[in-house]
Chains A and B, each alone.
Chain A
Amino acid sequence: MTTNAVPVTATAEPRLRTARRVKDYAIAYSFIAPWLLGFLCFTIGPMIVSFLLSFTQYSVTSAPKWIGLRNYVDIFTVDPQFWIALGVTLKFVIISVPLKLAFSLAVAMLLHGNYRGVGVYRTIFYVPSLIGGSVAVAEMWRQLFGLNGAVNNILQFLFGVPGDNWIANPNTALWTLILLVIWQFGSPMLIFLAGLRQIPKELYEAAAVDGANGVVRFFRITVPMLTPIIFFNLVMQLIHGFTTFTQSYLITSGGPLNRTLFYALYLYQHAFQFFDMGYACALAWILLAIVGTATALVFKSSSAWVYYESERGA
């Protein structure tokens, strides 16, 4: 914390010192000014406006009309699509985030061994993360899992079974999107790998001397030492999962039968297709509350399972 207090020592030049401090602060603020301006105009300002608009009916072309809690009441009571979108998104997050993290940790463990070619594999595994968010990949996924796509062709060849239109089938559509997310396990994998490298070798050596086998070492050393990184990846993937948009917009358009109607997509439809901005703002604040609660729960629980080295001996 910076000290704002005027120095109490009554020296000859307190005024000079104050002037100098003001000048220093002005210089400091000139450095953070661009960000501060952006933060006020593009983050805080919009948040306040968004909150106010969530109590109005507003279609951009006409002036906002104050309707109190109507949007919120409608969302929770008479909007079945909201519950569908919420359910789809929760299902997506609950399935894809743990799978992606477990898979990326498993692969990172394998790559951590002293084998040749690790660098090449690491590169190959990271490429999908690099391009995963692009339109090109979304289009590619749609064709791969389409009725005449490569996936069915391979299934036909290997097992002789006729395929399905995985994208258009309500029972499988969401799973194709989950698969797409897991396909991009590269960046959590890189983070896990870097974390594994930071675990002191002596810990493993000491455990081996004590006769601990691989499984014990994994659960007693690797996992505890990695918990800060698991925590970081978990928070990042959670937020990412809750706000997924491009994939459902481009690959499935929310269909079939709303089975992939992601929350972010539903919000987009209200805002930019129906131009029901007030309603969309209310949806946005509910999303913020959900993401905030989920993140807060993870943070709260972290003291029970995240191990920080600096705590040692405390």
Chain B
Amino acid sequence: MWRHASRAAFHAVMWVISAFMLYPILWTLASSLKPESEIFTHAASLIPSHIDWSNYTKGWIGFGDVGFARFFANSFFITFMVLIGTLLSSPWVAYGFSRLRFPLRNTLFVCLMVSMMLPAQVTVIPQYILFRHLGWVNTYYPLIVPAYLGGSAFFVFLIMQFIRTIPRELDEAAKIDGCGPYRIYTQVIFPLCAPVLVTVAIFAFYWTWDDFFGPLIYLNNTHLYTVSIGLSLFSSADVGTNWGPMFAMSVLSLLPVLIVFLFFQRYIVEGVTMGSLKA
């Protein structure tokens, strides 16, 4: 009897929290399907009187001569390039730090760890000045190139944590077979890192896809805008209040994130917890 009551109480609490977690998301979805007139008159309702797709077609057209097709293509391109860069360079660097010995190794490792906690505000201004001098403003280089240079320190750290769990005997065996570090990396360590690389790829995807600050300061040509910037245009004054299309495009922008989450949930949970527990 007592067990039943406690179980019921548990589920009741979980349901209430779930409602708070999901309501805003479902509300956005519902609003995107409501006729414009209904969005704020029956604001709280999660059920449109009838499904109206016109918000999606209106929103897709975008602003002036640039539509969301372009914004999505831009975002996908940047994300793809960052993914490639991260997957090429992060495990490469992580292998060097976790398996090889070299002078200043500990000092540089401390630098890596500290750079993970460094507020971006401290470096962003000189970075901007640097990229400006290189003529990289209004190009994707400032958003992409850093990924090829080790990517985020967090990714290097995450992969290092994983490499630590790979038995060193495998390296030794390969070494006896005459493999140098390059072959040990490409034929032993890199393939074994596959699970953590999935995690890294997912996070690289999320952070790039959602990034707002980078595109905000480096891109000021509408044709180059990403989805994040495109969405923020809806609320700027000169466009007027186009809430329906804004909700519709918001939903579309969240779709890739949610789809990836649906398929790779396990890897995400691992990524979130791995960095903290084995530290």
Contacts and interface: CB of A to CB of B under 8 A. Distances in A.
Interface of A: 1-2, 4, 24-25, 27-32, 34-39, 41-47, 49-50, 53, 60, 107, 110, 113, 115, 117, 121, 123-128, 130-131, 133-137, 139-144, 148-154, 157, 183, 187, 190-191, 193-195, 198, 229, 232-233, 235, 239, 242-243, 245-246, 250, 264, 267, 271-272, 277, 280-281, 283-285, 287-288, 291, 295
Given A2-B101, A272-B217, A130 B257 contact: yes
B276 A233 contact: yes
A134 B210 contact: yes
B50 interface: no
B75 to A, nearest CB: 11
B195 interface: no
20 contacts: A2-B105, A2-B106, A27-B182, A28-B100, A32-B102, A38-B149, A43-B115, A45-B130, A46-B123, A47-B122, A117-B11, A131-B25, A153-B45, A187-B272, A190-B272, A193-B273, A235-B117, A243-B119, A277-B125, A288-B121
A283 B121 CA distance: 9
Nearest to A45: B126
A39 B125 contact: no
Given A150-B43, A246-B212, A295-B117, A34 B148 contact: yes
A89 B246 CA distance: 29
Contact of A139 (B20, B96, B246, B277): B246
Interface of B: 7, 10-11, 13-14, 17-18, 20-25, 27-28, 31, 40, 42-45, 89, 92-93, 95-97, 100-103, 105-106, 108, 111-112, 115, 117-130, 132, 146, 148-150, 153, 156, 180-182, 185, 206, 210, 212-213, 217, 227-229, 231-232, 234-235, 243, 246-247, 250-251, 253-254, 257-258, 261, 265, 268-269, 272-273, 276-277, 279
B181 A53 contact: no
Contacts of B92: 31, 34
Chain B binding surface SS class: helix
Given A37-B149, A190-B272, A250-B232, A281 B43 contact: no
Contacts of B156: 35
A134 to B, nearest CB: 5
